[in-house]
Structure 1
């Protein structure tokens, strides 16, 4: 595999077709096909399912793409090291939605002093999807919830723990948890993510009577519905950082015993280990700055390679 073949293969994976990849690598579609055919001949294996239109990477193709991404990144970092430059390139980073507006961008800002030549590509998504993108090499790392299984070859390191909060209109300040649920209907967070499932499970286990009035698929919209007086909701503490002062009555959900943990998932073997160590530390430092409980690095969930 030469560099151009690797770049072409990665471009096909990123764009989904030979034609779109051709525009990225500045080649004709015919030249793209010739490169891929030469690569397949060299490897002695077909990398694409050509019964589909456009052709799609098969299992062997996915393996080669992962290797190509890693090799290209190593080459970038090696050139920087030899030339005396500081770590540069693009850090592909994923984050679950609630951490994509404050914590992760502010951690990026903290990284700038140590890595001024580094740029960032932030992808927002669900924990399971982000984890699969880290495993495939599409992302270098991601911030994900801890109640998803750690995929083989990855390691999850805790960053912070945060309480879930019960929020109600400010006019109901002083009411107990059960009083709030009896007096007001519930605003549900509807997304297929661990947090939504955790909230539903906790409500069920507590035997709390719930009368649903609204469903929203973003935390800002859930909080907005509460401020508007529609009902009560359960949200993580980070979702309240930008809420208007005095607009809500907030108390710990379940008597402060219900929390969620969030951590950094990365590949066990990565050419960007130093940068990701710095990113982990920046996330912890910014979590403390935002009033969240940063967790020590002593525990990690690791899947077998």
Structure 2
């Protein structure tokens, strides 16, 4: 079986049409269709259902899709292993929403400059599911919150950044007591079903504040905009930039010491791409050191 045909099949599924896949692969739509038909004959089942200019994946296609992706990744890994090139191949990463726009771009900029042959797949998600993906071997590493439980022996975790809780308030409230704001102003609560939101809830319980809750959500940038619009105040980690532009906010430190939110990298010790993971760790450390030196850490 020609792995290029598998690559074409995956491209058709991802792009949603033969024409789009052809543009991506720089071949003709007729060549795409021929490769898919050849693959279907070899597999012995239809994989794509044509519907006008678009396509839908069949049940048989759905069953082999993830295995096809994994096989293509393994082929890339084999090339890297055969050449003993520590900086070639695909690195599979996960990252939370704030890390996607804050920490990860700086790290990847360093990676691309130093290791131009590396390819990176990025899966967005919440920390609990990203941990599961790393533990299960779907991802090599992920930028996540520190887990509130012991990791399995197959995984490691390294701290990159600490984010203390702050009271986020409109700029006109600068100078007011943070506890007084939390007790008397409407609260835009950081979602308690998430690890970061639980920390904020624990602090409120610790200091005996029962807030006047107005909203609850797991979207820090949206919370910042809502505070700017005068909808309330919030208790959130002091997350990494960029923030939405043009907001008139103050970040008030808490009167009582409390554990910060800790963000780091979790990775699988057993991944065949451990050399790529090691390179990613090195560039992550360097990017965080540079951000701290520039006053952005």
* Structures share fold, TM-score greater than 0.5: yes
Q: Say whether residues 1:248 and 2:250 are aligned partners.
A: yes
In the alignment, the residues of structure 2 paired with residue 123 and residue 67 of structure 1 have an alpha-carbon distance, to the nearest angstrom, of 15
SS in 2 for 1:213: strand
Alignment RMSD: 4.4
1:206-221 pair list within 5 angstroms: 206-221=207-222
Q: Which residue of 2 aligns with 1:290?
A: 291
SS in 2 for 1:166: strand
Tell me the CA shift for residue 186 of structure 1.
Answer: 0.5
Distance 1:246 1:5, change over 3 A: closer
Q: Mind listing any 5+ residue stretches in structure 2 that lack a counterpart?
A: 15-21, 23-30, 44-57
Q: Which residue of 2 aligns with 1:257?
A: 258
In the alignment, the residues of structure 2 paired with residue 269 and residue 133 of structure 1 have an alpha-carbon distance, to the nearest angstrom, of 13
Distance 1:285 1:162, change over 3 A: farther
Equivalenced residue count is 278
SS in 1 for 2:115: coil
Tell me the CA shift for residue 247 of structure 1.
Answer: 2.9
- Whether the 8 Å CA contact 1:165–1:251 is kept in 2: the answer is yes
Q: Which residue of 2 aligns with 1:74?
A: 77
1:36-185 pair list within 5 angstroms: 71-79=74-82, 81=83, 87-149=87-149, 152=152, 154-160=154-160, 161-185=162-186
TM-score, with structure 2 as normaliser: 0.70
Q: Mind listing any 5+ residue stretches in structure 1 that lack a counterpart?
A: 16-22, 40-53, 293-305
In the alignment, the residues of structure 2 paired with residue 216 and residue 101 of structure 1 have an alpha-carbon distance, to the nearest angstrom, of 19
Distance 1:282 1:191, change over 3 A: farther
Tell me the CA shift for residue 106 of structure 1.
Answer: 0.9
In the alignment, the residues of structure 2 paired with residue 185 and residue 178 of structure 1 have an alpha-carbon distance, to the nearest angstrom, of 13
SS in 2 for 1:174: coil
- Whether the 8 Å CA contact 1:127–1:145 is kept in 2: the answer is yes
Q: Say whether residues 1:231 and 2:232 are aligned partners.
A: yes
In the alignment, the residues of structure 1 paired with residue 86 and residue 251 of structure 2 have an alpha-carbon distance, to the nearest angstrom, of 48
